[in-house]
Structure 1
Amino acid sequence: MRTTLDIDEDVLLVAKEVAEQQGISKGKALSQLAREALTRQAAIATRNGVPLFPRQPDAEVVTLEIVNELRDGLS
């Protein structure tokens, strides 16, 4: 599909390099780079320097009591 876009110079330079290295058009290179960026998993969030696991919006909150019950059940 053809369209006109204003692309920042640094982004265009990278697209040109990728296109040249892979022997594809600049448009295909931009599409490929955009697709990779869109499907890449979001950066892992941290709290107090500790990485947080992703969770489902409807997931139950894990409390200290639940953790203790699970720990005690394994002993």
Structure 2
Amino acid sequence: MRTTLDIDDAVLKAAKDIAETTNSTAGEVISQLARKGLAATSSHGLRNKSGFPVFSVPAEADPFTSATVKSILSNEGLP
């Protein structure tokens, strides 16, 4: 389907770069990325469990452990 969209110059350049390396078109790349973004929005929504926010992440996401939190706090000079 053809339509006209205003796309940020940097986003279009990135899509064209990806298209060149994957032997596809910028339109195909943007459609694929839009599908992923829309799927992530619908499947990774926040919900509450016992008053605490809980969210889902993709299976391939790196773990975010208490050691990660401690490292970030330390790097930021926070207790």
The TM-score bracket by the shorter chain reads: 0.5 to 0.7
Displacement of 1:29 in angstroms is 0.7
Aligned residues: 51
**1:39 paired to 2:1:** no
Partner of 2:11: 11
In terms of Rg, which structure is larger? 1
Give a deviation string over 1:6-62, Cα, whole Å, max 9, x none. 10012111111111111001111110111111112436679xxx76257xxxxxxxx
After TM superposition, the score normalised by the length of structure 1 is 0.53
2:65 alignment counterpart: none
Q: Aligned partners of 2:35, 2:46: CA distance in 1, in Å? A: 20
- Normalising by structure 2, report the TM-score: 0.51
Over the residues paired in the alignment, what is the CA RMSD in angstroms? Answer: 2.5
Distance 2:29 2:22 in 1: 8
Flag the 1:53–1:39 CA change in 2: closer, same or farther, 3 A. closer
- Ranges in structure 2 where 5+ consecutive residues have no aligned partner: 57-79
